[in-house]
Amino acid sequence: MRQIIIIGSGPAGYTAAVYAGRANMRPLLIASSVEAGGELMNTTEVENFPGFPDGIMGPDLMSKMQAQAEKFGTDIIYEDVTGVDLSGPVKKVTLGSGAVHEALSVIFAAGSAYRKLGLADEDRLSGRGVSWCATCDGFFFRDRTIAVIGGGDSALEEALFLTRFADKVYLVHRRGSLRASKIMQDRAFANDKIEFVWNSDVVSINGEDQVESITVRDTETGVQQNLDVRGLFIAVGNDPRVHLVHGQLELTPGGTIAVEGRSSRTAVPGVFAAGDVTDPTYRQAITAAASGAVAALDAEHYLATLSPDLLGSTAVDPASSFETTTV
Ligand code: NAP
């Protein structure tokens, strides 16, 4: 049995692992089988993470966080969690392989999942022109016309990145002004490959085997038009990934995990939450990382309240233990 299991391998999970590792808790971190590293793995240059004045590619940042977590003794398993039992003093985490891992505390930092538009042909044409990841799929749209849906930073980032390949990018937004930050707006407005389609909803994605066009409807006039596009990139936000803890942890009306004040403590003793699963507002790599640090500190304080008998049952294999460093 472990002292702590961390579920999630984004900035929140890895930062929690760095702190828990340095506190000699010998964390076990469960990274996903296909989405290890979280959302930043699908990002290009990260310009606003302190310490990297020249920017850093998202995957490089995540591999540095992973290396830092491992340096302090974090064990990582690349599998999906299929179930958790958070009741009682010993928490159980079940993986896709059927293996069950136990710990006295859990930090839940499973991140968030891309939101869908909810259109009939969205899933059918996924991978056939419909995508949620410009860095993964943009290359396939060289010299094509494509559309990006959304008005936030993600949509503008996707649109700007796609102008490297596409000959034209429609930015379709349901309102008449953008939610994105000023700097991203300025860049998008200055790019003459991007054409804005304001006050418009997508009503259908058209095509047999591949996306051939989308139909958009003007939300003010109701007038519909077809946009001839081969690619459709959906960037309309994310929803917290909380299905694993439904019925076990309390959720807020917005669907994030409820925590006590500025802490990471859920209503269940020994269970802490960090990153996008708790944050309906900021959702930055740096805020997720900070909440991971908070969660590890909260978990450390919780473990200190447990009986020596219980803690004694979390022996670490001395052959694989490590020396802590102090700063
Ligand atoms: P977001 O800020 O929540 O924006 C989502 C956008 O999609 C909004 O413009 C929203 O429209 C639109 N939308 C939502 N549901 C829709 C639907 N069903 N149909 C059509 N449009 C829909 O999400 P995000 O852009 O993914 O950004 C999330 C967070 O990450 C933000 O805090 C953002 O600043 C951050 N981020 C930062 C960077 C960066 O710093 N470079 C890059 C990416 C993301 P409304 O505006 O009308 O609500």
At 315 the pLDDT is: 61
Atom of ligand 1 nearest to the CA of 282: 32
| 258 part of a folded domain | yes
Q: Is 121 a catalytic residue?
A: no
Q: Same domain, yes or no, for 85 and 148?
A: no
Atom of ligand 1 nearest to the CA of 238: 26
Written as six digits, the tokens of 37 are: 């590293």
Q: Does 59 sit in the ligand 1 pocket, CB within 6 Å?
A: no
Q: Same domain, yes or no, for 109 and 154?
A: no
At 326 the pLDDT is: 31
What is the distance in A from the centroid of ligand 1 to the CA of 20? 32
Last residue within a domain, chosen from 212, 234, 256? 234
| 120 part of a folded domain | no
| 123 part of a folded domain | no
Q: Does 73 sit in the ligand 1 pocket, CB within 6 Å?
A: no
Q: Same domain, yes or no, for 222 and 255?
A: no
Q: Same domain, yes or no, for 202 and 244?
A: no
Q: Does 187 sit in the ligand 1 pocket, CB within 6 Å?
A: no
Which among 123, 136, 186, 228 is annotated as catalytic? 136
Q: Same domain, yes or no, for 286 and 228?
A: no
**45-74 burial string, b = 16+ CB within 10 Å, else e?**
ebeebeeeeeebbbbebbeebbebbbebbb
Q: Same domain, yes or no, for 267 and 307?
A: yes
| 121 part of a folded domain | no
Residue nearest to atom 13 of ligand 1 (CA): 236
Last residue within a domain, chosen from 184, 216, 234? 234
What is the distance in A from the centroid of ligand 1 to the CA of 200? 15
Q: Same domain, yes or no, for 211 and 242?
A: no
At 33 the pLDDT is: 85
Q: Same domain, yes or no, for 146 and 229?
A: yes
d(C-alpha 189, C-alpha 316), whole Å: 56
Domain that holds residue 173: 130-234
Residue nearest to atom 43 of ligand 1 (CA): 154
Q: Is 309 a catalytic residue?
A: no
Q: Is 60 a catalytic residue?
A: no
Q: Does 254 sit in the ligand 1 pocket, CB within 6 Å?
A: no
One pLDDT digit (tens) per residue for the chain, 327 residues: 999 999 999 999 999 999 999 999 999 999 988 888 888 887 778 889 999 999 999 999 999 999 999 999 999 999 999 999 999 999 999 999 999 999 999 999 999 989 999 999 999 999 899 999 898 889 999 999 999 999 999 999 999 999 999 999 999 999 999 999 999 999 999 999 999 999 999 999 999 999 999 999 999 999 999 999 999 999 999 999 999 999 999 999 999 999 999 999 999 999 999 999 999 889 899 999 999 999 999 999 999 999 988 888 886 544 444 333 333
Q: Does 154 sit in the ligand 1 pocket, CB within 6 Å?
A: yes
Give the total number of structural domains in the chain.
Answer: 2
| 64 part of a folded domain | yes
Q: Write the CATH number for 24.
A: 3.50.50.60
Tracing tokens 């020396």 back to the chain, one arrives at 323
Angle at 179 between CA 178 and CA 182, to 5 degrees: 80
| 243 part of a folded domain | yes
Q: Same domain, yes or no, for 243 and 221?
A: no
d(C-alpha 196, C-alpha 181), whole Å: 16
What is the distance in A from the centroid of ligand 1 to the CA of 84? 30
Last residue within a domain, chosen from 234, 267, 290? 234
Which among 60, 80, 133, 239 is annotated as catalytic? 133
pTM listed for this prediction: 0.83
At 281 the pLDDT is: 87
